[in-house]
A and B are shown apart, each in its own frame.
Chain A
Amino acid sequence: MSILTASGIRKSFRGNTVLHGVSLTIDAGEIIGLLGENGAGKSTFMNVLSGTLSPDAGVIQIDGSNVQFASASDGLAAGIRFIRQELSLMPSLSVAENILLGSLPKRRGFVDYTALRRRAAEILAEIGASHIDVDAEVGGLRLGEQQLVEIARAVSQRPRILIMDEPTSSLTAHEVEQFFGFVRRIAAAGTAVIFITHRLSEALSLCDRLVVLRNGTLVAERHPDEATRESLIVDMTGRASLFNYERRDDVRSQEAALEVIGASDGEGLSDISFQVQKGEVFGLFGLVGAGRTELLEMICGLRRCARGQIRVSGADAQKDRRGHLRAGVSIVPEGRKIQGIFPQHSVRWNLSAGTLRRTAKAGFISPSSEVEAMTKYRTELGIRMQDPEQLVGTLSGGNQQKVLIGRALVNDPQILLLDEPTHGVDVGAKADIYRIVRAEAAHGRTIVVASSEIDEIRAVCDRVGILSKGRLVAVLNHDGMEETAMLTHAFSHH
Chain B
Amino acid sequence: MLLRLRSTFVTALGLREASVAAMILIVAAYLTYASAYFPEPRNLLNIGRQASVVGIVALGQALVIIARGIDLSVGSIIGLSAVAGAIVARETGVQGLSVPVALVAGLLCGLFNGWLYTRLRINPFIATLGTLSIARGIALLLTGGIPVTLSGFANFLGAGRIVNIPVSLILMVMLAVIFHILATRTVRGRDIFAIGDNPKAAVLAGIDLRGTRLFVFVLSGLLAGLGGIILAGNLASADPNLGMGYELDVIAAVILGGTSLSGGRGSIPGVMLGAILMALLNNAFVLLGISAYWQVVTKGLVILLAVGLDSIRRDASETD
Provided the pairs A54-B319, A360-B187 are in contact, do residues A343 and B205 lie with their beta carbons within 8 angstroms?
no
Contact across chains for A323 and B209 when beta carbons are under 8 A apart: yes
Contact across chains for A333 and B3 when beta carbons are under 8 A apart: no
The residues of B that contact A340 with a CB separation of less than 8 Å are 198, 201, 204
Contact across chains for B187 and A365 when beta carbons are under 8 A apart: yes
Per-residue CB proximity of A215-236 to B under 8 Å, as 1/0? 0000000000000000000000
The residues of A that contact B265 with a CB separation of less than 8 Å are 344
Contact across chains for A345 and B197 when beta carbons are under 8 A apart: yes
* Stretch of A175-183, A285-293, A351-359 on the interface side: A351-359
Contact across chains for B186 and A325 when beta carbons are under 8 A apart: no
The residues of B that contact A357 with a CB separation of less than 8 Å are 187, 206
* Stretch of B32-40, B86-94, B188-196 on the interface side: B188-196
Interface residue A110 (Cβ < 8 Å from any Cβ of B): no
Contact across chains for A342 and B186 when beta carbons are under 8 A apart: no
Contact across chains for A343 and B197 when beta carbons are under 8 A apart: yes
Smallest Cβ distance from B320 to chain A, in angstroms?
A: 7
Provided the pairs A363-B188, A365-B190 are in contact, do residues A343 and B203 lie with their beta carbons within 8 angstroms?
no
List which B193-226 residues lie within 8 A (CB) of chain A.
193-194, 197-198, 200-210
List which A314-349 residues lie within 8 A (CB) of chain B.
323-325, 330-331, 333, 338-345, 349
Provided the pairs A363-B186, A364-B185, A364-B186 are in contact, do residues A341 and B198 lie with their beta carbons within 8 angstroms?
yes
Interface residue B227 (Cβ < 8 Å from any Cβ of A): no
A251 to B11, CA, bound (A): 49
The residues of A that contact B75 with a CB separation of less than 8 Å are none
A295 to B195, CA, bound (A): 24
Smallest Cβ distance from B21 to chain A, in angstroms?
A: 22
A345 to B209, CA, bound (A): 18
The residues of A that contact B209 with a CB separation of less than 8 Å are 323
Smallest Cβ distance from B77 to chain A, in angstroms?
A: 26
The residues of A that contact B319 with a CB separation of less than 8 Å are 53-54, 71
Interface residue B110 (Cβ < 8 Å from any Cβ of A): no
Smallest Cβ distance from B206 to chain A, in angstroms?
A: 4
Contact across chains for A344 and B197 when beta carbons are under 8 A apart: yes
Contact across chains for B187 and A339 when beta carbons are under 8 A apart: no
Provided the pairs A54-B319, A345-B193, A345-B264 are in contact, do residues A354 and B205 lie with their beta carbons within 8 angstroms?
yes
Specify which of B185, B186, B205, B320 is in contact with A353 (CB 8 Å cutoff): B205
Contact across chains for A325 and B206 when beta carbons are under 8 A apart: yes
Provided the pairs A333-B204, A411-B206 are in contact, do residues A342 and B197 lie with their beta carbons within 8 angstroms?
yes
Give the residue among B11, B200, B206, B320 with the most A Cβ atoms within 10 A: B206
List which A358-415 residues lie within 8 A (CB) of chain B.
360, 363-365, 389, 407, 411
Per-residue CB proximity of B109-125 to A under 8 Å, as 1/0? 00000000000000000
The residues of A that contact B190 with a CB separation of less than 8 Å are 349, 353, 356, 365
Smallest Cβ distance from B193 to chain A, in angstroms?
A: 7
Contact across chains for A365 and B185 when beta carbons are under 8 A apart: yes
Which range holds the interface residue count of chain B?
A: 20 to 34
Provided the pairs A15-B3, A342-B194, A365-B185 are in contact, do residues A325 and B201 lie with their beta carbons within 8 angstroms?
no
Contact across chains for A365 and B197 when beta carbons are under 8 A apart: no
Provided the pairs A353-B194, A354-B205 are in contact, do residues A339 and B200 lie with their beta carbons within 8 angstroms?
yes
Contact across chains for B204 and A342 when beta carbons are under 8 A apart: no
Contact across chains for A338 and B206 when beta carbons are under 8 A apart: no
Specify which of A14, A364, A407 is in contact with B205 (CB 8 Å cutoff): A407
List which A8-44 residues lie within 8 A (CB) of chain B.
13-15
Contact across chains for B198 and A343 when beta carbons are under 8 A apart: yes
Give the residue among B197, B202, B204, B264 with the most A Cβ atoms within 10 A: B204
The residues of A that contact B210 with a CB separation of less than 8 Å are 323
A57 to B7, CA, bound (A): 24
The residues of B that contact A411 with a CB separation of less than 8 Å are 206
Smallest Cβ distance from B133 to chain A, in angstroms?
A: 29
The residues of A that contact B185 with a CB separation of less than 8 Å are 364-365
A394 to B264, CA, bound (A): 16
Interface residue A101 (Cβ < 8 Å from any Cβ of B): no
A361 to B90, CA, bound (A): 44
The residues of B that contact A89 with a CB separation of less than 8 Å are none
The residues of B that contact A365 with a CB separation of less than 8 Å are 185-187, 190
Interface residue A200 (Cβ < 8 Å from any Cβ of B): no
Contact across chains for B187 and A342 when beta carbons are under 8 A apart: no
Contact across chains for B320 and A13 when beta carbons are under 8 A apart: yes
The residues of A that contact B200 with a CB separation of less than 8 Å are 338-339
Smallest Cβ distance from B118 to chain A, in angstroms?
A: 10
Provided the pairs A15-B3, A345-B264 are in contact, do residues A339 and B186 lie with their beta carbons within 8 angstroms?
no
Interface residue A76 (Cβ < 8 Å from any Cβ of B): no
Contact across chains for B264 and A339 when beta carbons are under 8 A apart: no
A357 to B212, CA, bound (A): 14
Give the residue among B3, B11, B187, B260 with the most A Cβ atoms within 10 A: B187
The residues of B that contact A342 with a CB separation of less than 8 Å are 193-194, 197-198, 201-202, 264
Smallest Cβ distance from B292 to chain A, in angstroms?
A: 38
Interface residue A59 (Cβ < 8 Å from any Cβ of B): no
The residues of A that contact B201 with a CB separation of less than 8 Å are 339-342
Give the residue among A342, A354, A360, A407 with the most B Cβ atoms within 10 A: A342
Contact across chains for A14 and B198 when beta carbons are under 8 A apart: no
A300 to B198, CA, bound (A): 19
A14 to B317, CA, bound (A): 10
The residues of B that contact A407 with a CB separation of less than 8 Å are 205
Smallest Cβ distance from A398 to chain B, in angstroms?
A: 18
Give the residue among B193, B194, B198, B205 with the most A Cβ atoms within 10 A: B205
Interface residue A6 (Cβ < 8 Å from any Cβ of B): no
The residues of A that contact B202 with a CB separation of less than 8 Å are 342, 353
Interface residue A436 (Cβ < 8 Å from any Cβ of B): no
A385 to B260, CA, bound (A): 26
Contact across chains for A302 and B197 when beta carbons are under 8 A apart: no
Contact across chains for B208 and A324 when beta carbons are under 8 A apart: yes
Give the residue among A353, A389, A411 with the most B Cβ atoms within 10 A: A353
The residues of B that contact A53 with a CB separation of less than 8 Å are 319
Contact across chains for B198 and A356 when beta carbons are under 8 A apart: no
The residues of A that contact B3 with a CB separation of less than 8 Å are 14-15
The residues of B that contact A360 with a CB separation of less than 8 Å are 186-187
List which A431-467 residues lie within 8 A (CB) of chain B.
none
Smallest Cβ distance from B202 to chain A, in angstroms?
A: 8
The residues of B that contact A71 with a CB separation of less than 8 Å are 319
The residues of A that contact B264 with a CB separation of less than 8 Å are 342, 344-345
The residues of B that contact A354 with a CB separation of less than 8 Å are 205-206
Contact across chains for A356 and B187 when beta carbons are under 8 A apart: yes
Complex A-B: 18 CB contacts under 8 Å: A14-B7, A15-B3, A71-B319, A302-B204, A323-B210, A324-B206, A324-B208, A331-B204, A333-B204, A339-B198, A339-B201, A342-B194, A344-B260, A353-B207, A357-B206, A364-B185, A365-B190, A407-B205
Closest 8 CB pairs of A and B: A342-B197, A325-B206, A344-B264, A353-B205, A360-B187, A356-B187, A339-B200, A344-B197
**With A349-B190, A363-B187 given, can you name 9 additional A-B contacts, CB distance below 8 Å?**
A14-B320, A300-B204, A339-B200, A339-B201, A342-B197, A344-B264, A345-B193, A353-B205, A365-B186
